[in-house]
């Protein structure tokens, strides 16, 4: 079959792998020669701190991707062109310089990305070049799953039923790259350079531990192989932060160093074999698709509540709210599980999923602080930050989202602690100053006896803060605060 295009350009973004890659597959089929590019977009990099774990993860993943493309092409000058600057101008400029007939990339439904892609498409059209985009980041996307009336789902359970009814081997089949890799072109001399260093990019090494979070496709496969031996216990282990229960693949899913199709394929196969753990983990992948289609159909969630009535809530403001928020951000609330969770995200860029719910509930329903404050904090610190999932999770916790928990469901931070970290292993790991307290006192140090505190060398208010709120009192204030929702919804 003859290729309709002479030259194509594949624009890598949140898909940093060379296997099972839809855009690269289609480009290799449709073009006689194919170039590959990644842009460190200045619009994304500008607000980031100079030590950013995600930039380091991306950079390490690009080094592997560059080597893999050269190996596939079997040519030393093949590989990845890496640029830094405004992507909406650099991509059309590069396409024109290379004489590309078309640019190939994947869908990205984040509002800023859609606006960027529209500008790129317009400029490419002026240059008589095409922009082809493909599905890759989810199993089902946009309007692929609709209700019988043709509307998008806003409740998860029927969405999951539709997802499972439509899933088949063809949907999860990989997009092969290797059979056509000979069409990967050598880079022009001016672009035949190694991936820039962090210093070249204006960044510094972070405290990212690549032994814990190995980068690139090889890192993803390493974590996947480890999880494959634990997935059958996922349903029992996933809620306990001191237990090795999660897959730890969320950052790899975020940056596409692993194909979501391959993960769903593995989970579905194990689920069909009767694995309860695989079945629950597959549901997490379905939740991920669900939040992406919510973002596509309801982009107002980026700034406002999914349920408009919840925008009438009067959140706490002023000096005390600012002080409470700072205490939450810094892990100084006086509730050990909350503070240990915040220490985890600050120290590692990761937070266990159960703890994400706990700290989000605490911020919105114990402190009465707007969920958007917490959403922005997570966006700054999470290695796996993804707008759709982060927004969906925060709106779920604050009860303002689609299919969210009821507003009167308020996690008790001490009950959650005793239930999901009963021996205090997680708390002791991240709050070593409390390590000597007995298990019974660890979850609520203010209830410990003077002798227990003295034996542990803990003085409340000096070594560890007293609780900044009383949970029972805060719960009553939250029920009053949310009462406006019932009034508005009438």
Catalytic residue among 175, 281, 287, 373, which? Answer: 287
Evaluate if residue 476 carries a pLDDT over 80: yes
What is the average pLDDT value for the chain, to the nearest integer? 96
Return the closest-CA partner of residue 179 out of 391, 20, 334, 11: 20
| Sheet containing strand 80-85, strands side by side | 80-85, 31-41, 5-12, 102-106, 130-134
Query: In CATH, what number does 137-173+212-297 get?
Result: 1.25.40.80
Tell me, which fold does domain 1-136 have in CATH? Rossmann fold (3.40.50)
Active site residue 452: no
Average pLDDT over residues 116-120: 98
Return residue ranges of the chain for CATH 3.40.50.620. Answer: 1-136
Render the burial of 189-203: b for 16+ CB within 10 Å, e for the rest. eebeeebbebeebeb
490: pLDDT confidence band, cut at 50, 70 and 90?
Answer: very low
Average pLDDT over residues 82-108: 98
Active site residue 394: yes
pLDDT tens-digit map of 402-417: 887 788 889 999 999 9
pLDDT tens-digit map of 16-51: 999 999 999 999 999 999 999 999 999 999 999 999
pLDDT tens-digit map of 363-384: 999 999 999 999 999 999 999 9
In Å, how far are 207, 257, 261, 346, 374 from 349, measured between CA atoms?
Answer: 9, 18, 25, 6, 15
Active site residue 315: yes
State the CB neighbour count (10 A cutoff) for residue 358: 24
Catalytic residue among 371, 375, 391, 396, which? Answer: 371
Question: Which of residues 401 and 247 earns the better pLDDT score?
Answer: 247
488: pLDDT confidence band, cut at 50, 70 and 90?
Answer: low
pLDDT tens-digit map of 165-176: 999 999 999 999
Active site residue 446: no
Q: Which CATH number fits domain 308-489: 1.10.287.470, 3.30.499.10, 1.10.579.10, 3.40.50.2300?
A: 1.10.579.10
* Cα atoms in the Cβ-side hemisphere of radius 13 Å centred on 78: 19
- Predicted structure pTM score: 0.96
pLDDT tens-digit map of 330-372: 999 999 999 999 999 999 999 999 999 999 999 999 999 999 9
Catalytic residue among 110, 284, 316, 452, which? Answer: 284
Catalytic residue among 315, 316, 446, 452, which? Answer: 315
Active site residue 390: no
Q: How far apart are CA 254 and CA 122, in angstroms?
A: 27
Return residue ranges of the chain for CATH 1.10.579.10. Answer: 308-489
Active site residue 371: yes
Q: Are 333 and 468 in contact (CB under 8 A)?
A: yes
Evaluate if residue 98 carries a pLDDT over 80: yes
Return residue ranges of the chain for CATH 1.25.40.80. Answer: 137-173+212-297
Evaluate if residue 214 carries a pLDDT over 50: yes
| Tokens found for residue 463 | 């070594």
């Amino acid at each position: 079959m003859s290729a309709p295009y002479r030259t194509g350009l594949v624009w890598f973004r949140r898909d940093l792998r060379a296997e099972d890659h839809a855009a690269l597959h289609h480009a290799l089929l449709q073009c006689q020669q194919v170039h590959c590019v990644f842009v460190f977009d200045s619009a994304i990099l500008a607000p980031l701190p100079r030590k950013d774990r995600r930039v380091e993860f991306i950079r390490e993943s690009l080094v592997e991707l560059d080597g893999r493309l050269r190996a596939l092409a079997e040519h030393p000058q093949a590989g990845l062109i890496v640029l830094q600057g405004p992507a909406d101008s650099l991509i059309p400029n590069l396409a024109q310089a290379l004489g590309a007939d078309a640019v190939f990339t994947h869908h990205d439904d984040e509002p800023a990305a859609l606006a960027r892609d529209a500008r790129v498409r317009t400029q490419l059209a002026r240059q008589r070049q095409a922009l082809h985009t493909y599905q890759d980041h989810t199993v089902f996307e946009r309007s692929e799953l609709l209700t019988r009336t043709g509307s998008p789902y806003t409740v998860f359970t029927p969405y999951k039923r539709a997802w499972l009814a439509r899933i088949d081997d063809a949907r999860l089949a990989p997009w092969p790259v290797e059979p056509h890799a000979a069409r990967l072109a050598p880079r022009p001399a001016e672009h035949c350079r190694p991936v820039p260093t962090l210093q070249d990019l204006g960044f510094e090494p972070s405290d990212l531990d690549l032994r814990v979070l190995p980068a690139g496709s090889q890192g993803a496969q390493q974590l996947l192989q480890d999880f494959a031996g634990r997935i059958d216990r996922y349903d029992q282990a996933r809620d306990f932060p001191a237990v090795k229960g999660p897959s730890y693949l969320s950052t790899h899913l975020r940056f596409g160093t692993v194909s979501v199709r391959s993960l769903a394929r593995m989970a579905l196969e194990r689920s069909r074999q009767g694995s309860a753990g695989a079945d629950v983990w597959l549901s997490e992948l379905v939740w991920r698709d669900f939040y992406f289609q919510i973002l596509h159909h309801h982009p107002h969630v980026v700034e406002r509540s999914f349920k408009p009535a919840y925008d009438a809530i009067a959140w706490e403001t002023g000096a005390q709210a600012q002080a409470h928020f700072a205490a939450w951000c810094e892990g100084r609330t006086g509730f050990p599980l909350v503070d240990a969770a915040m220490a985890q995200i600050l120290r590692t860029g990761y937070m266990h999923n159960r703890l994400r719910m706990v700290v989000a509930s605490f911020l919105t329903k114990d402190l009465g602080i707007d969920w958007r404050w917490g959403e922005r904090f997570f966006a700054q610190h999470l290695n796996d930050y993804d707008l759709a999932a982060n927004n969906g999770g925060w709106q779920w916790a604050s009860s303002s989202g689609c299919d969210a928990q009821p507003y009167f469901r308020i996690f008790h931070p001490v009950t959650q602690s005793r239930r999901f970290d009963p021996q205090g292993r997680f708390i002791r790991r991240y709050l070593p100053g409390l390590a000597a307290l007995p298990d019974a006192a660890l979850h609520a140090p203010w209830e410990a006896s003077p002798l227990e505190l003295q034996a542990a060398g803990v003085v409340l208010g000096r070594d560890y803060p007293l609780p900044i709120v009383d949970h029972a009192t805060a719960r009553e204030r939250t029920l009053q605060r949310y009462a406006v929702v019932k009034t508005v919804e009438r």
